[in-house]
Amino acid sequence: MSTGSLPVLPENIFQIVFEKSPGSLLVKADLPHFTIVAASDSYLEITASSRKDILGKGFFEVFPDDEKFDEDTNARYVFTKVVETGEAIEVPTYRFDVYNKSKKQDEIRYWSCCNTPILNPDRKVAYILNTVVDITDEVKAREAALESESRLRLAAEAAEFATWDLNLLNQTFIYSPRLSEIFGHPPETVITLDDIRKQVNKDDMQNIVVKAYEQALKLGNYLYEVRINWPDGSLHWIKTQGLVIKDKEGQPVRMLGTILDTTETKRDEIRKNDFIAMASHELKTPLTSLKAYIQLLAKKLASSDDGFVINSLDKAGIQINKMTDLIYGFLDLSKLEPGMLQLVKEDFEINKLISDCLAEMKLTHPGHIINFEPQKNIIVKADREKIGQVITNFLSNAIKYSNKGCTIIISCKKTGSNVTVSVTDKGIGIKPKDQEKLFQRFYRVESERMKNISGFGIGLYLANEIIQLHKGEIGVESAEGKGSTFYFSLPLPD
């Protein structure tokens, strides 16, 4: 330990320290004058005053009471209270404008101050130390944040959006009043996350919300549309979209987003789809008889040597097939809404279903060779019509996307507790980057060749929906220019 003598300090060291300290003023507790006894340089600068002008004068003589201060921030009130109670009083925020010499005008400034009593030996308040801190930047930043939040909220309200914010750690759920309205309650109703979850349609909860939540945790954002039940029993649609916020360790901590009521648009869409379904259904009947007449005519004239007639009938047959495909496509379009696909499960032999689909395909597309060697009986419990639709989609794609005369192979195998059906073609094949997206709604590969092949890009989307509803798997293996294998598997009954 050093035993050196203490440095010699100037006599007025405490005065110097006080005068250099930030924003400090010392007043005597001589109510009601509060005579100023010391002021630091920065206090003088803030108040645009000089020591000789203020020292020895009463505080309120120099800084008259400002009427805009309320009781809690009024200096006279605060000083008096400090003297009476002998306790320090903090004023967290108050406004005191400062004259800016270079701009020659008053500038809005915010301050935070503390009034600490200094007691004399008989424990009475002798002085008050008033220390002020400039918090203008902090207050302005807070105001700007509040303003941008309220601007955002106004914009969201104008667009009839509801906003919400979920803390994933403690499940605190904050939302705008519009949210309750969207869920069919009066605007100010308190509604919990659990209430909301209970109102979501059960199937959509399982098939859409749960999946979207898992995906959001991985990808960081989500977008989905689901059906909700209002307390009055009516059905509504909502679209929600948002972000997942992660902490520094990459752990998801918050989810926030917007919700929009899409019921009206959805109802319009359903009306439009109903119309398409009805119109396509009506078109199917005359088209089937037209096809039958053309086939009859073709048979009758098969031995004719009028090449033009035979060629024309052939072309008419091809055009009718195209039109049939389009009409089936329209019918599929009308089933695109969530919940429109309902399964009607039954036990059936899957090889027989494949043979039936094949027989129909061969009738309409005689130019392709389709090989199928059914194995032993395999009974599945599934929706026969919809599985047939998947097989037909795979087969018609294999035909559409490969040249006439190419061989297509269809197989059906039992693998463990599943059955797997696959359709292999030697057609145009698919690039890996497109393979990932084929099962999305309206996705079609963009290429020169594709321009001449009609389609809506919904067959595989529906196939995926159907297989997912059966809790099966669907996929593709393909090499560009070499061909593709589309497959699906279904769990077999125990």
Question: Which positions touch ligand ADP (CB under 6 A)?
Answer: 393, 397-398, 401, 425, 427-428, 430, 438, 443-445, 450, 455-461, 484
Cβ closest to ligand ADP, residue 180 vs residue 424? 424
Are 401 and 453 within 8 A, CB to CB?
yes
Closest approach, Cβ 401 to ligand ADP, in A, equals 3
Report which residue's Cβ sits closest to ligand ADP.
455
Torsion of CA 179, 182, 184, 188, to 10 degrees: 30
Cβ closest to ligand ADP, residue 183 vs residue 394? 394
Closest approach, Cβ 453 to ligand ADP, in A, equals 7
Closest approach, Cβ 258 to ligand ADP, in A, equals 31
Cβ closest to ligand ADP, residue 261 vs residue 425? 425
The residue with tokens 């309409």 is 364
How is 7-62 classified by DSSP, letter by letter?
Answer: PPPPTTHHHHHHHHSTTEEEEE--TTT-BEEEE-HHHHHHTT--HHHHTTSBHHHH
Q: How far apart are CA 193 and CA 152, in angstroms?
A: 22
Closest approach, Cβ 194 to ligand ADP, in A, equals 38
Are 427 and 405 within 8 A, CB to CB?
no
Q: How far apart are CA 212 and CA 221, in angstroms?
A: 9
Q: How far apart are CA 283 and CA 329, in angstroms?
A: 13
Closest approach, Cβ 425 to ligand ADP, in A, equals 5
Q: In what order do the strands lie in the sheet with 221-229?
A: 173-175, 162-167, 252-261, 235-246, 221-229
Write 191-200 long-range contacts (CB < 8 A, 24+): 193/166, 199/228, 199/229, 199/230, 200/226, 200/227, 200/228
Query: Quick one: which H or E segment has residue 331?
Result: helix 307-333
- How does strand 369-372 pair with strand 407-415? parallel
Cβ closest to ligand ADP, residue 153 vs residue 362? 362
Closest approach, Cβ 331 to ligand ADP, in A, equals 13
On the 0-12 / 13-18 / 19+ scale of CB atoms within 10 A, 393 is buried
Cβ closest to ligand ADP, residue 352 vs residue 404? 404
Cβ closest to ligand ADP, residue 246 vs residue 444? 444
Closest approach, Cβ 387 to ligand ADP, in A, equals 16
**Structure tokens that stand for 137 in this block:** 């930047």
Cβ closest to ligand ADP, residue 159 vs residue 453? 453
Closest approach, Cβ 265 to ligand ADP, in A, equals 24
Cβ closest to ligand ADP, residue 192 vs residue 447? 447
